[in-house]
Structures are given as structure tokens and as C-alpha cells.
Chains A and B, each alone.
Chain A
Amino acid sequence: MPPLRRSGRIAALALFALAALPPASASAHGLVGKADLPVPMWLFAWAAAVVLIVSFAALGLLWPSPRLQRPRERRLFRLGPWVDVVGGALGIGLFVALVVSGLAGTEIPTANFAPTFVYVAFWVGLTVGSALFGDLFRVLSPWRALARATAWAAARLRRPGGADESAGALPEPLAYPRWLGHWPAVVTIAAFAWLELVSVNRDDPRLLALLALGYAALQLIAMSVWGIETWSRRGDGFAVFFGLFAKAAPLVRRDGALWLRRPLDGLPSMEVVPGTVALLCTMIGSTTFDGLSGGPLWTDLSPHLQSVFEDLGFGPTAAGEASFTIGLLGCLLLAGLVYRIGVVGMRMVDRDRSVGELARAFAHTLVPIALAYAVAHYASLLIYQGQALGYLVSDPLGDGSDLLGTASWTIDYTVISATGIWYLQVFVIVLGHIAALVLAHDRAVALFRDGRAALRSQLWMLAVMVAFTCLALWLISAANA
């Protein structure tokens, strides 16, 4: 079979597989009511697709040469090392609060600081914060702060005149294997998604505290082996995760100063190493499964899948987790498959480059999509449940204390209506996919040189963007249905 036709068939099969996905509820975590909309929800998906197609045409006409391949930055002001010290101390303080509240606090998840902190403030809040203000986690990371403080103290002790002058210098870190790339981060984010979406003990404060301790210990060991900064850039799953979103931010800290740049400017220069594409697909796929797992399809399918595992000898809980694991893996593969379709389609225009080369060249376009999925999916959680942090910081253990005088605060569910949440979600999804389209177009005109070939290659990416947009709106619509 000629490669062109084979690629077309693969594309058709995968897109029809995507279309065959039944509707799902918006979010296992979403806290939304019923939106009051003037037109049917599906019309939003059609309108979003039209917006993308018009944007694509406009890019073809008005964007003939690359504009984003070299970032333009303006220095704002100096940001000294004190930022790391203050941020690191804050990060360590929050980490201690998480561990203490998890281990010593109440077992009721909603009354304990740990689950809300991990799933709302850390996972969702820091995602939004990174996209707006840059790499916050790099400053706040408790294990990076602890490792840097230890290295600083060790260096002071060993230098001439120090208390431990006779001791030898610290050993040099090992070279980080190139093939390992971002794969440790893929494992971390997939494991966190499994904990959040599959495990029945996801809200157990004690388990969260123990896992946080274990993860921190692993990071410290890895940093001592491969170096603090190398491991933070490559292997620390959360540092890599938030760092990718921070590439889209208009602010960046570099060379001891804060710099202003255009939003998205940091993405084209994003370093793509082994595992980066898999990590981005894991980010999109896990959010997809979060939406799917609350919907009617999964509600219908999972008991059958669970009974298969029970027939194999699994207990009811293990069988449930096994069926959810299958669902999660399926969504990760689906996200990867949809992206691959775009890349295979692009290759029809440019036979000189391999699928892998093109996949890496356009990997940065997945960042705004992953961001849009996360923000749209967790918007209601952040807006409503985020308020719970106001009273949980006063009573982190859930023992009735009132440390800051805010323990009596409650969640205000009128802060935004369900309709407002819906419009916010649609706006974020469309914006994220237009941003992805712009990035892909800019890379294509830089890569292909011939404007016509660039445009033809991007037709496939347009199909991918439209597919991801429709899927996202499909997922969030069911919660409002």
C-alpha cells in the first residue's frame, strides 16, 4: 500500500475513533450547575471549529514568515537570589504543613488541609499561576530549595577556613543519560493522574502525606546523583510539568532579572527531549479521562470491564481500579494517536523529515492545548473549592482550631454562575487551540520555507486542533446538560 493512502486510512480510522467516543460528564471534580444558554451546546463546538478554520485562513494570508521563532524580551528589573531563599522557605513551609496535616490531622478529606492543597492549590492553582507568572514552582520547590541549601552549606563548610576544611570537595554529579530525557516526568505525571483519577484512596490525607514524603526523598536522591538543576529540568515530574506551562507565560526570570516577553514566546525555543511528546500527551489524555470517567459511557462500560477483572480473580476494589486504569491508558493513547495523525498528515507534504522529527518540531503546540484542557476542566474546582483554602489554613488539621481567624469562612457559590463558568471554559478552549494553531503555523513557515507547502502541511494540524476542541467541549458539556 502506498504510504500516502496508508496515512490517509490511519487518519480516517483515528478520527472516526475519536468521533465514536460517547459524551461524558464535564468533570469528576467539576462543581457546576446547569448553564442557561441561548443556543444548544453542540453549536458552541461548531462555532469553535469555524473560528479555528477562519483563524487558519487568516494565518495563511497574513502570516507569511516566522515571527515567533526568536523570543523578544524586555528586561523589567533585577531579581536577586533572595527570591530563591524566600520562595524556597515558603515552599518548605507549605510542604511541612501538608505533611503534618496529612499525618496528624483528621481523616475527613474535606476538613483536612492536605487533599485540597494537593489537588486544588498545587495541581490546578500552580498550573494557572505558571501560565500567568512564569516558573513559580522552580522558586517554590521544597526539594530543590532543600538540596540547594544543603549544597550551599556543604560548600561553605569545605572552603578554606570552614569548619570542615580538611574534607574533600563534593563529588561531581553523574552525566544525565540523554535517552532518559523527560521519561521520569512522564512516569510521575501518569502516576499522579492514576492516584487522582483511579485510586480509591485518592483523598486519604495520610496517604497523600506519605507519598509527598516519598517523592521528596526520591527527588533529593536523584538530585544528588545527577545534579540539582539537571534533575529539576529533566526528571522532577512536577518541575517539568509546571515548567512547560511557564514557557507560555509573559514573564521569565533569567540572568538574575525578570523579563517581559510576548505570551507564547517561550514555547518555540522549548527543549524537546525523549519523552517530551509523551509527557504532553499524558497531560492531555489524563484530563480527558477525568472528564470521561464521570460520563454515561464510562458509567455504562466500567461495570462490564470490572466484572471481567473480577472473573480473573480480582477483588471488587482492585477490579474497579483495574478497569479505570484501562480507561486512563486508553485516553493517554487516544491523545497520542490524534497528535500522530497530524504529524503523519504533515509528512505527506514533507517526505524529507521523519515522523519523529516532525513530532518533536511541533511538540510545543501541544502546551497551549494541555493548558486549555486543564484550565477549562478544573475552572469550577479552582473557583469554588479554591475558596476552601481560606478556612483550611486556619484549621489545617480539622481539629477546630482558628489560627488566622478565618476558620468560619465558607465557600461562596454565587461568585460565578454556571453559565459564566461555561462561557469561561469555551473561551479558554478556543483561545488555547488558536494559540496552538498560531504556534504550528509559525513553525511550519519556518520549517517548510515554501508558504504553500507550509499551509498544506497545517491542514492536518487544523484537523487535530478541531478534533481536540470538539472533544474538550464535548467533555465539559455533559456536566451542564
Chain B
Amino acid sequence: MTVYAHVGHWLVSMVYAAPALLLAGALIVSTIRQKRRDAERRAAAAEAGGSPAATAPAPGAPEPPPAAD
């Protein structure tokens, strides 16, 4: 089929799409990692017996004071 006879030509020209593919790949990888981190945080919170909201500090929240002796 003529279409396949031009595959080499297409592949060479696909270099145009590389920036979009790289960016999409980076976005997808970061999304998956974020998802995994969220899942791990939820699992750790469940093990500790509290909700993630109760155990994890809010972003930018001040450090908790040291426990009194």
C-alpha cells in the first residue's frame, strides 16, 4: 500500500511533533506521579488511623511547636 511506502518520510517529518509530544509526556508523567503521591499519602494516613487532612500539614503552614517534656 502506498501509504506504508511513505512511512520513512512521515517518521522524518514527525520530528515537528516532538516538542508537543515531549511536553505532553512530561505532563502525563507528572500527573501520574502526583496521583501516586496522593495515594501513598492517603494510605499512610489510613495506617495512622486519621484522615489525610488531619495528619498532613497544610502547605505553607508553620512548623508545629516542639512537644513539651
Residues in A lying within 8 Å of B, measured CB to CB:
2, 4-5, 8, 11-12, 15-16, 18-23, 42, 45-46, 48-50, 53, 296-297, 300-301, 304, 345, 348, 459-460, 462-463, 466-467, 470-471, 473-474, 477-478
Contact = CB atoms under 8 A, between A and B. Distances in A.
Contacts of A45: 15-16, 19
A5 B21 CA distance: 18
Contacts of A8: 27-28, 31-32
Q: Is the interface of B mostly helix, strand, loop or mixed?
A: helix
Interface of B: 1-3, 6, 9-10, 13-21, 23-24, 27-28, 31-32, 35
Contact of A462 (B1, B13, B23, B31): B23
Contacts of B35: 2, 4-5
B27 A345 contact: yes
Contacts, number: 90
Contacts of B28: 8, 11-12
Given A8-B31, A8-B32, A463-B23, A474 B17 contact: yes
Contacts of B16: 23, 42, 45, 470-471, 473-474, 477
A19 B31 contact: no
Given A4-B35, A19-B20, A296-B9, A459 B27 contact: yes
A300 B19 contact: no
A466 B6 contact: no
B20 A463 contact: yes
Given A8-B31, A300-B2, A23 B20 contact: no
Given A22-B10, A22-B13, A466 B23 contact: yes
A11 B24 contact: yes
Contact of A15 (B1, B13, B21, B31): B21
B6 A19 contact: no
Could you say which of B13, B21, B28 has the most chain A C-beta atoms within 10 Å of its C-beta? B13
7 contacts: A8-B28, A12-B24, A12-B28, A42-B15, A49-B19, A49-B23, A459-B27
Given A12-B24, A45-B15, 17 more contacts: A2-B35, A8-B31, A8-B32, A19-B14, A22-B6, A22-B10, A22-B14, A42-B13, A49-B20, A49-B23, A53-B23, A297-B3, A301-B3, A463-B24, A466-B19, A470-B19, A470-B20
Contacts of A473: 16
Nearest to A296: B6
Could you say which of A16, A49, A345, A463 has the most chain B C-beta atoms within 10 Å of its C-beta? A463
Given A8-B32, A11-B28, A300-B3, A466 B20 contact: yes
B13 A474 contact: yes
A22 B5 CA distance: 13
B15 to A, nearest CB: 5
Contact of B9 (A23, A50, A301, A462): A23
